[in-house]
Amino acid sequence: MSVEHYENFPVASWLCPPALRPPITAIYWFARTADDLADEGDAPAEQRLADLSAYRAELQRVAAGQSPGPRWAPIFTALARALQAHALPLPLLDDLLQAFERDVPSPRYADRAELLDYCRQSANPVGRLLLHLHGITQPQALAQSDAICSALQLINFWQDLSVDLPRGRCYLPAEDLVRHGLMPSQRPTTDTAATQALVADLCAWARALMRQGAPLVHTLPGRAGWELRLVVQGGLRILEKIEAMHCRSLTRRPTLGPTDLARMAWRSLWMPRSTLS
């Protein structure tokens, strides 16, 4: 099952234990569909919020043991099986919905703390749900998972500046914009020395978060740990690609190719057990 359409979700490939593929797939489609309700098409904000409210009602409905309604029946039928079989924590699923609702008005973020709070709902629940499926509950593992997921979300933001900014989505913290001599009230649209310095600064922040969480790869058992190694290395490689283009990601979106995948696989073999230096 490929999930490249939802960037915050680790890929449930052949490395994923077969018994966990159905619940991971169910969680993915739950999140993917809600994200589309918030972000795709031409519906006005009021309609998007109404749809997300109805979607939350369906979540509560199946969590209470009731049959799903017809609109999203395949999504919630699969999710209901996962909820019953694996006792998925409902608050984590609700956090994802809250993040999508926050996205509807295209908010701005005053500082990094506000942006990390958004990541707490938009990205971190995914990692915690996956740890739950593997029976991992240690506080250190949860904190490392949060660091990896927040880092992946931030990396996606800095990778997608050329896509998000023209659509009115600005995840650049106002505090960082001011520090680099840019106006928070105006979304930058061209690469300049100031925006390049800004993006370099933000990439360094994301890299530090990823390195903070990376030792988690040694906690996850078997193939799941190898899956996470590739996820971590993929995020770090995107940062390298941004930096290789001198942080000009306001006008160009870096992507990964076959040679990058080979590099990621090689690096995943040699990841240290302590925080990456």
Residues with Cβ < 8 Å from 183, sequence gap 6 or more? 177
Least Cα distance to 89 among 132, 59, 60 occurs for 132
60 and 40 part of one domain: yes
Domain that holds residue 66: 11-98
Q: Indicate the number of domains in the chain.
A: 2
Q: Is residue 34 part of a domain?
A: yes
pLDDT at 21: 87
Q: What is the mean pLDDT of residues 114-138?
A: 95
pLDDT band at 275 (very low <50, low <70, confident <90, very high): low
Q: Is residue 1 part of a domain?
A: no
Q: Is residue 53 part of a domain?
A: yes
Q: Which is more confidently placed, 129 or 273?
A: 129
pLDDT band at 17 (very low <50, low <70, confident <90, very high): confident
- Which tens digit of pLDDT belongs to each residue from 58-98? 999 999 999 999 999 999 999 999 999 999 999 999 999 99
Q: The CATH number of the domain where 194 resides is what? A: 1.10.600.10
| pLDDT above 80 for 2 | no
CA 42 from centroid of its chain's CA atoms: 23
Q: Is residue 127 part of a domain?
A: yes
93 and 29 part of one domain: yes
Q: What is the mean pLDDT of residues 215-243?
A: 90
**What tokens were used for 245?**
């283009």
**What tokens were used for 160?**
């997608």
- Which tens digit of pLDDT belongs to each residue from 20-47? 889 999 999 999 999 999 988 788 999 9
163 and 245 part of one domain: yes
pLDDT band at 223 (very low <50, low <70, confident <90, very high): confident
64 and 111 part of one domain: no
Domain C-terminal end among 98, 122, 139 = 98
Q: Please indicate, yes or no, whether the overall pTM of this predicted structure exceeds 0.75.
A: yes
76 and 134 part of one domain: no
- Cα(146)–Cα(25) distance, rounded to whole angstroms? 21
127 and 86 part of one domain: no
Q: Is residue 40 part of a domain?
A: yes
Q: Is residue 238 part of a domain?
A: yes
66 and 169 part of one domain: no
pLDDT band at 270 (very low <50, low <70, confident <90, very high): confident
Domain C-terminal end among 55, 70, 98 = 98
Cβ 232 vs Cβ 267: under 8 Å: no
118 and 92 part of one domain: no
